């Protein structure tokens, strides 16, 4: 398990990280979300020891030492490989730096290329691959040595939905093998789809931390999805409804001032009759993200 | 395998497999081969025209002449008719008809041109010796008399060590050595600085630094580049020796070398030994500083100008040696022979001029070795910060930040 305690990082007068604390447990995927400049990459760079920082970062209760490097798989935010090497040379070189002998890695390369549907032969030069395929090779490099701590900085950026699914599958597979995984993303749908836990940073501070359901439940079930023949004006007249949003056709999203008033709204709306949809939920991660990020602009 | 060695191996293989390296290493040999080839072709095509045929009705006499003058005789021509034809076709310089009766050995040379001085002497010597053998046989002398007549006058050459020759050797050694260091440094400063600069700020370096310590990576890079330099030097030494052996088969080069044997020996002696060690260590310290200046560029795109600081330093040291070439025991020269970056030029210069003691050489070497160690350690410590820093500030600002970087 990776434990971060009271992490603080200052760049001159700018506080990049302010008393950050959270855990990345084994066998779980932790999503690190936040707007640009919120401190996600700085957190990753601190974990990887690229920066001098205050506070504590522990891997299995010990400071991260050189001996732990082999157990780390890291995907940086921007993609970058060595363009003059072939796919095979690139994968083998970086895997050897992770302590894996070439003879162990070479036989696995074809399977990994197939798994990520990389278009090209392992003898192709990196510079001759498309951007998407280079990205996939970089993902292979991150995962091929079966790391125990996986750090992925914006892994989904630039991937189409098909390739994003391939990546999700690989991340879930690594988790099932026991790895502690942390990744940053702007796409809440991806975070919701694969994450067990969530940490949200805003201007260097943790504003959300917990399992996905814990985080969502913090905000109460203040939203109701309804499919009804009522008009928007009629819905606005309902008690405790503070906002009505037409999603599509006869489907609406109602926001309540008090989640406990859901049954009362239900009574009024149905009046004992059939209704196609009435679903009271906490806000989505996307809404929470916007809500939390929005506070900084207020 | 140790991660430093993995990095060294990767750097080395990538460099030596590159076309630029192959061209760099092979081009002098290709040029040499072309010039030797031209020399050889012109030598062989003209040699027949300078040779002669030997015709004789006495096979033993003919054989004896051919044995003594193998290079000057075309032995395949055995008859007067064939010899005449060859001379007519300009394939032979001429032909010598040897004859002997009971008392006299004679030779007649036939040609359209008069005989050259060298060949005339050779023929005269041969005829005189053959005549003497015949005279001795005809005189029917006793063994003792024969022995007495065989006594030769004594002639010995005692060559005084020529001061001018030694000076010439020093001048040649000095120029060869400083140019050798300078050329290696200029070439590899660029190679090293660009190799490092091309990685500046790239995210693949983050992957690498998440796999091994930056200091180990830096040392691996330096070892890799040094391996490339060593490979080039070894190829030059082995190839140079090979070409020397081939060139020695060409008469004029053989003659040139043997005429200047002492000079050649002195120059080779000055080039090897402790001076070579100074060259190697000089190359290492400049390679390290080149890597450092490569790491100081603002971004990977600036790689081509990355080597400039190291090259300027090397140029300053190179040009500073000039005024001291004939005055190597001047105080400034003595001081600079201890200063790293300069000592690789100045101490060999002092050694060549015989004005550095063993202790002075040892101290200079020790300072150089310690400096290399400290510099490697220090740059290794700040290397991660230098490579991962990508802000486009001024060179001095980056240098200051780099030097103050400590994790």
CA–CA distance, A211 with A203 (Å, rounded to integer): 21
Greatest C-alpha distance within chain A? 72
Whether chain A has a CB inside 8 Å of the CB on B266: the answer is no
Please report which residue ranges of B272-307 form alpha helices under DSSP H: 274-295
Contact A74 B7 (CB under 8 A): no
Is A201 in the same domain as A247? no
Whether chain A has a CB inside 8 Å of the CB on B1: the answer is yes
Whether chain A has a CB inside 8 Å of the CB on B7: the answer is yes
Q: Contact A254/A265 with Cβ under 8 angstroms?
A: yes
**Count: domains in chain A:** 2
Is A108 in the same domain as A191? yes
Mean of pLDDT over chain B: 82
For residue range B281-291, what is the model confidence (pLDDT) as tens digits?
888 898 888 88
Contact A76 B207 (CB under 8 A): yes
Contact B6 A97 (CB under 8 A): yes
Q: Which long-range contacts (CB under 8 A, 24 or more apart) does A206-210 make?
A: A206/A20, A206/A21, A206/A22, A207/A292, A207/A295, A208/A33, A208/A288, A208/A292, A209/A22
The candidate with the shortest Cα–Cα distance to A266, out of A255, A280, A252, A250, is A280
A·B CB contacts under 8 A: 53
Which of A202, A217, A232 corresponds to the end of one domain? A217
Is A210 in the same domain as A78? yes
- Contacting B with CB below 8 Å, chain A residues are 48-52, 66, 69-70, 72, 74, 76-82, 84-85, 93-94, 96-98, 141-142, 151
Please report which residue ranges of B91-213 form alpha helices under DSSP H: 117-139, 143-150, 163-197, 203-209
Is A96 in the same domain as A188? yes
* Token code pair at residue A169: 């599958």
Q: Contact A135/A90 with Cβ under 8 angstroms?
A: no
Which residue of B206, B213, B224, B407 is the best one to mutate when testing the A interface, meaning the one whose CB has the most A CBs within 10 A? B206
Nearest residue of chain A to residue B199 (CA atoms): A82
pLDDT score of B402 more than 80: no
Please give, rounded to a whole number of angstroms, the shortest distance from the CA of B203 to a CA of chain A.
5
Place of tokens 């990280």: A17
Place of tokens 């992957």: B207
* Token code pair at residue A101: 């002998």
Nearest residue of chain A to residue B11 (CA atoms): A93
Task: Determine, yes or no, domain membership for A297.
Answer: no
Q: What is the mean pLDDT of residues B177-181?
A: 79
From B203, B210, B384, residue closest to A69, measured CB to CB = B210
Task: Determine, yes or no, domain membership for A298.
Answer: no
CA–CA distance, A181 with A195 (Å, rounded to integer): 9
Is A260 in the same domain as A209? no
pLDDT score of B127 more than 70: yes
Which of A217, A240, A259 corresponds to the end of one domain? A217
Whether chain A has a CB inside 8 Å of the CB on B123: the answer is no
Domains, chain B, ordered by start: 3-31+165-404 (no CATH), 50-143 (3.40.190.10)
Is A107 in the same domain as A163? yes
Whether chain A has a CB inside 8 Å of the CB on B209: the answer is yes
Place of tokens 């040499």: B32
pLDDT class for B300, splitting at 50, 70, 90?
Answer: low
Task: Determine, yes or no, domain membership for A31.
Answer: yes
Contacts of A283 (CB under 8 A, 6+ apart): A216, A219, A222, A223, A291
Strand partners, B100: B105
Domain region containing A236:
220-281
Which residue of A89, A97, A105, A148 is the best one to mutate when testing the B interface, meaning the one whose CB has the most B CBs within 10 A? A97
pLDDT score of B163 more than 60: no
Task: Determine, yes or no, domain membership for A114.
Answer: yes
pLDDT class for B264, splitting at 50, 70, 90?
Answer: confident
Contact B210 A77 (CB under 8 A): no
pLDDT, position A297? 40
Which of A167, A190, A217 corresponds to the end of one domain? A217
pLDDT class for B406, splitting at 50, 70, 90?
Answer: low
pLDDT, position A227? 94
Whether chain A has a CB inside 8 Å of the CB on B213: the answer is yes
pLDDT class for B392, splitting at 50, 70, 90?
Answer: low
From B1, B211, B388, residue closest to A50, measured CB to CB = B388
Contact B204 A84 (CB under 8 A): no
Query: Helix B214-247 crosses helix B3-16 at what angle (to 10 degrees)?
Result: 40
Residue, of A229 and B154, whose pLDDT is higher: A229
Is A201 in the same domain as A234? no
Whether chain A has a CB inside 8 Å of the CB on B401: the answer is no
Q: Which of residues 13-72 of B touch A (CB under 8 A)?
A: 14
CA A17 to chain centroid, in Å, comes to: 19
Question: What is the CATH classification number for the domain harbouring A9?
Answer: 3.40.50.300
pLDDT, position B237? 82
Residue, of B387 and A20, whose pLDDT is higher: A20
Is A93 in the same domain as A188? yes
Task: Determine, yes or no, domain membership for A202.
Answer: yes
pLDDT, position A296? 45
For residue range B233-263, what is the model confidence (pLDDT) as tens digits?
888 888 888 887 887 777 667 777 777 777 7
Please give, rounded to a whole number of angstroms, the shortest distance from the CA of A101 to a CA of chain B.
8
String of DSSP letters for A24-82? E-TT-EEEEEE-TTSSHHHHHHHHTT-S--EEEEEETTEE--GGGGGGEEEE-SS----
Is A46 in the same domain as A123? yes
From A74, A84, A96, residue closest to B206, measured CB to CB = A74
Contact B406 A81 (CB under 8 A): no
What is the Cα gyration radius of chain B?
32
Task: Determine, yes or no, domain membership for A22.
Answer: yes
pLDDT class for B152, splitting at 50, 70, 90?
Answer: confident
Task: Determine, yes or no, domain membership for A286.
Answer: no
Is A224 in the same domain as A206? no
Contact A141 B207 (CB under 8 A): yes
Q: What is the mean pLDDT of residues B351-367?
A: 88
Q: Contact A250/A228 with Cβ under 8 angstroms?
A: yes
CA–CA distance, A225 with A251 (Å, rounded to integer): 7
CA A139 to chain centroid, in Å, comes to: 15
Please count the residues of chain A: 298
Nearest residue of chain A to residue B3 (CA atoms): A97
Query: What global pTM score does this model have?
Result: 0.74
Per-residue pLDDT of chain A (298 residues; tens, 9 = 90+): 999 999 999 888 888 899 999 999 999 999 999 888 889 999 999 999 888 899 999 999 999 988 899 999 999 988 788 888 899 999 999 999 999 999 999 999 999 999 999 988 889 999 899 888 898 999 999 999 999 999 999 888 878 888 888 889 999 999 999 999 999 988 888 888 889 999 999 888 998 899 988 888 888 888 999 999 899 999 999 999 999 999 999 999 999 999 899 999 999 998 888 899 999 988 888 888 887 777 544 3
Task: Determine, yes or no, domain membership for A130.
Answer: yes
- Name chain B contacts of A41, Cβ cutoff 8 Å: none
Is A27 in the same domain as A147? yes
CA–CA distance, B79 with B308 (Å, rounded to integer): 72
Contact A76 B6 (CB under 8 A): no
Question: What is the CATH classification number for the domain harbouring A277?
Answer: 3.30.70
pLDDT, position B405? 60
Pairing of β A72-75 and β A29-34: unpaired
For residue range B25-39, what is the model confidence (pLDDT) as tens digits?
888 888 888 887 776
A253: left (phi over 0), alpha (psi -120 to 50) or beta: beta
- Name chain B contacts of A96, Cβ cutoff 8 Å: 1, 3, 6
Please give, rounded to a whole number of angstroms, the shortest distance from the CA of A196 to a CA of chain B.
25
**Which among B361-370, B374-383, B387-396 has the top mean pLDDT?**
B361-370
Q: Contact A100/A71 with Cβ under 8 angstroms?
A: no
Is A173 in the same domain as A196? yes
pLDDT, position B45? 60
The candidate with the shortest Cα–Cα distance to A63, out of A19, A126, A4, A124, is A4
């Amino acid at each position: 398990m990776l434990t971060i305690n009271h992490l603080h990082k200052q760049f001159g007068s700018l506080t990049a990280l302010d008393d950050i604390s959270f855990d990345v447990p084994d066998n779980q995927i932790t999503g690190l979300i936040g707007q640009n400049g919120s401190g996600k990459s700085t957190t990753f760079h601190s974990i990887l020891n690229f920066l001098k920082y205050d506070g504590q970062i522990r891997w299995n209760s010990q400071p991260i030492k050189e001996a732990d490097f082999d157990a780390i798989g890291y995907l940086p935010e921007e993609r970058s490989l060595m363009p003059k090497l072939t796919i095979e040379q690139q994968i083998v070189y970086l895997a050897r730096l992770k302590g894996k002998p070439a003879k162990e890695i070479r036989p696995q390369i074809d399977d990994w290329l197939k798994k990520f549907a990389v278009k090209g032969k392992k003898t192709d030069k990196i510079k001759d691959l498309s951007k998407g395929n280079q990205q996939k090779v970089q993902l292979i490099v991150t995962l091929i040595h079966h790391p125990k701590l996986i750090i992925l900085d914006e892994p989904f950026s630039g991937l189409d939905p098909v390739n994003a699914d391939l990546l999700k599958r690989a991340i879930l597979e690594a988790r099932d093998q026991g790895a502690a995984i942390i990744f940053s993303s702007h796409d809440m749908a991806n975070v919701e789809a694969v994450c067990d836990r969530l940490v949200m940073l805003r201007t260097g501070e943790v504003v959300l931390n917990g399992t996905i359901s814990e985080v969502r439940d913090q905000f109460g079930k203040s939203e109701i999805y309804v499919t009804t023949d009522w008009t928007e004006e009629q819905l606005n007249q309902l008690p405790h409804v503070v906002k009505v949003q037409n999603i599509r056709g006869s489907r609406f999203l109602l926001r309540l001032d008090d989640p406990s008033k859901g049954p009362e709204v239900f009574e009024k709306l149905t009046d004992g009759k059939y209704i196609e949809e009435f679903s009271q939920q906490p806000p989505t991660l996307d809404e929470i993200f916007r809500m939390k990020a929005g506070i900084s602009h207020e | 395998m140790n991660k430093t060695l993995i990095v060294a191996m990767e750097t080395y293989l990538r460099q030596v497999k590159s076309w630029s390296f192959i061209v760099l290493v092979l081009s002098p040999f290709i040029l040499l081969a072309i010039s030797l080839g031209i020399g050889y072709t012109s030598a062989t095509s003209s040699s027949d025209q300078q040779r002669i045929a030997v015709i004789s009705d006495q096979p033993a006499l003919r054989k004896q002449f051919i044995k003594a003058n193998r290079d000057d005789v075309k032995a395949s021509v055995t008859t007067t008719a064939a010899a005449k034809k060859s001379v007519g076709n300009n394939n032979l310089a001429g032909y010598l008809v040897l004859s002997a009766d009971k008392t006299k050995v004679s030779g007649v040379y036939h040609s359209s041109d008069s005989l050259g001085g060298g060949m005339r002497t050779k023929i005269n010597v041969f005829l005189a010796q053959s005549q003497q053998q015949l005279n001795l046989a005809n005189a029917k002398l006793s063994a003792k008399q024969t022995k007495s007549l065989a006594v030769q006058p004594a002639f010995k050459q005692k060559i005084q060590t020529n001061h001018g020759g030694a000076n010439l050797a020093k001048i040649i050694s000095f120029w060869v050595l400083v140019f050798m260091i300078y050329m290696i440094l200029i070439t590899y400063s660029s190679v090293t600085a660009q190799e490092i600069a091309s990685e500046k700020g790239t995210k693949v370096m983050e992957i690498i630094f998440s796999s091994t310590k930056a200091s180990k990576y830096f040392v691996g890079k330096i070892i890799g580049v040094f391996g490339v330099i060593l490979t080039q030097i070894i190829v030059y030494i082995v190839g140079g020796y090979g070409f020397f052996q081939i060139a020695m088969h060409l008469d004029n080069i053989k003659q040139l070398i043997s005429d200047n044997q002492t000079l050649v020996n002195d120059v080779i002696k000055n080039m090897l030994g402790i001076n070579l060690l100074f060259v190697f260590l000089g190359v290492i310290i400049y390679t390290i500083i080149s890597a450092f200046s490569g790491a100081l560029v603002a971004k990977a795109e600036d790689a081509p100008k990355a080597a400039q600081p190291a090259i300027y330093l090397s140029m300053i040291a190179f040009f500073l040696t000039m005024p001291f070439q004939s005055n190597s025991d001047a105080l400034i020269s003595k001081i600079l022979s201890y200063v790293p970056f300069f000592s690789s030029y100045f101490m060999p210069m002092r050694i060549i001029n015989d004005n550095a003691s063993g202790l002075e050489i040892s101290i200079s070497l020790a300072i150089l070795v310690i400096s290399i160690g400290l510099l490697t350690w220090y740059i290794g410590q700040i290397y991660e910060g230098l490579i991962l820093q990508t802000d486009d500030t001024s060179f001095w600002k980056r240098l200051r930040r780099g030097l103050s970087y400590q994790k």
